[in-house]
Structure formats: C-alpha cells, structure tokens
Amino acid sequence: MSSIRCNDLCKTFEQGGETIVGLDHVSLSIEEGEFVCLSGPSGSGKTTLLNAMGGLDTPDSGRIQVGDAVLTDLSRGQLADMRLQNVGFVFQAYNLVPVLSARENVEFVMQVQGVDARQRSQRVQEVLAEVGLEGLESRLPAELSGGQQQRVAVARAIASKPKLVLADEPTANLDTRSAAQLMGLFVSLNQRGITFVIATHDSRVMGYARRLVKLQDGRMISDEAQEPTAMVV
C-alpha cells in the first residue's frame, strides 16, 4: 500500500534567470515497511525528493507511484486527499500553526480528516506522551523551545497513523537524548509497519536506517542497504 516507485524524476527551479537543478534523473523504489535515510549536503535535493514522494510538488518529468496511486496523474484535490489520508509530514522548519496550542496542532490533521472529538483527544494525549511533551499541551508554539516545537511537529505527523512518514531533518534541533528518544519512537512505529523516509545530514539518525540513499546536486550517488548501528534505547 505504501510502497514508493520513483522513475526518472527531474525537477529544476528558476531563480533570477538561473536554472537550478533540484532533481536530476532520480529513480528509487522503496518497499512498504522500509526505513530509509536520504542524506547529502545542503542543496542536494533531499527536500525536493521528499516533496515529490509526498505529492506536495510535481516533478517536471518522471513518474511517481505511491501504493496504487500514480501521483503524477492525480489532480491537486486528489493529491491533497492522498496526503491527508496516507502521509505524515515532518517539515524542515517545523511549521506549526501559530494560533493553535500544541494539542490543537497535533489534533489538526485528524480534525480535517473528520475524526470525532473523543477519539481525537485520546489519541493526542497518547502521541504527546510518546514524544515527551506531557504538560505542555496547551502552550502555543511561540511558548515552546525549538526542540519542543519539533516534537510537536513529529506528533502531528504520526497522530493520524499514516502509512507513510516523510520527515525532513526531524532531529535538527534536538539534543542527543531527545534525538535518540525520537528515533526510538520512529523505529517502533516502523516495526508496526509504517514506512519511513527521513532526510537528514545527522549521522546519529543515519545509524538507525536499514537503507541509506545519498544525493548530490540532485543526483542519486549511492543507495546501500546497511545494518543499523544505533541501538534503540
């Protein structure tokens, strides 16, 4: 259901008359239940690739299939539904809704999905505990530290139990202990069948992955299976 097939993806950006390469003929298959890390230097195309896989942005050419859905054939409305129902996003700049409390931010996706209030609040409590934010539920994003906001963003991504989680630098603002805790959570969710694709240049994170994909200048330069070196705490 949440396997990902990327075929020959190309994407360029125009900026100030210059053409910037985002993705350069990238082909990549990820099976359901995998735990993949995308790594590479800044500007190598990690975010661009995640956006394409999540149906957030359409490539200039190539084909993407997630489960049975060919994203490159879907309308904008269908893509929105696909994201809402199947994908949990952790954005690079956590991007919380500033007027909503931590609890309400986490609730947001479920609310848009139309989950009923009782079920929602139960789930929110659960998830906030999992990311270690008990007691901070009613704070607004501006009243939380960067790391705390990041964890709210993670909670928002997993609260609706998506089949696929796309996380962009989820540990960027976390100390080692919190990062390890978060990765532990990801691994345990992955063991329950959720597919993870994580863009990062944090070597601590790469240690949890069973597969490491490296990008450079929009090209895939390596794709290797590996034994996770990090221990889940």
Partner 1 sequence: MNVGSRLAWRNLWRHSRRTWLTVGAMIFCNVLLVFMISLQLGSYGMMIDNSLGPFTGHAQIQHKDYLDDGKMRQSVPAAAALAQQVRGDIGLESVSARAVGFALASSEERSFGVQISGVQAAYEPLVSTLPGLVAQGRYLSESDNDAIVIGRVLATNLRATLGDEITFLGSGRDGSFAAGVATVVGIVDSGIDDLDRAMAHVPLGWFQEVFAMGDHGHQIVIRFADIDAVTPGLAALAPQLDLGDELVLLDWDALLPGLRQAITSDMASAWMMYGVLVLLVAFSVLNTQLMSVLERTREFGVMLALGMKPSRIARLVGMETLMMAALGLSIGVLGGAAVVAYLSVAGFHFPGMEEMASQFNLPDRIYPEVSALGLLWGPLTVFVMSVFAALYPALRIFRLRPVPAMRAV
Residues forming the site for partner 1 (CB under 8 A) = 51, 56-57, 77, 80-85, 87, 89, 91, 95-100, 104, 107-109, 111-112, 156
- Does residue 39 belong to the site contacting Mg ion (CB under 5 A)? no
Do 157 and 167 form a contact (C-beta atoms < 8 A)? yes
136 binds, options ligand ATP, partner 1, Mg ion, none, Cβ within 5 to 8 A by partner type? none
- With CA atoms as reference, report the closest residue to 87 among 8, 189, 194: 194
Nearest by Cα to 5 from 24, 35, 26, 20:
26
**60-96 burial by CB neighbour count: b if 16+ within 10 A, else e?**
eebebbbbebebbebeeeebeebbeebbbbbbeebeb
DSSP string, 124-143: HHHHHHHTT-TT-TT--GGG
Measured from the CB of residue 97, what is the shortest distance to partner 1 in angstroms? 6
Write down the least CB distance from residue 110 to ligand ATP, Å.
28
Q: Does 47 bind Mg ion (CB under 5 A)?
A: yes
Distance CA 222, CA 40 (A): 10
Q: Which is nearer to partner 1, 115 or 230 (CB)?
A: 115
In the complex, the residues that contact ligand ATP under the rule CB under 6 A are: 13, 15, 20, 22, 40, 42-48, 92
Closest separation in Å from C-beta 40 to ligand ATP: 6
Is residue 44 at the binding interface for Mg ion, with CB under 5 A as the rule? no
CB of 90 to Mg ion, least distance (A): 12
Give the integer Cα–Cα distance in Å for 71 and 63: 8
- The residue among 91 and 186 lying less far from Mg ion, judged by its C-beta, is 91
| Gyration radius of the chain over CA positions | 17
Q: Which of residues 74-93 bind Mg ion (CB under 5 A)?
A: 92
Nearer to ligand ATP among residue 102 and residue 157 (C-beta): 157
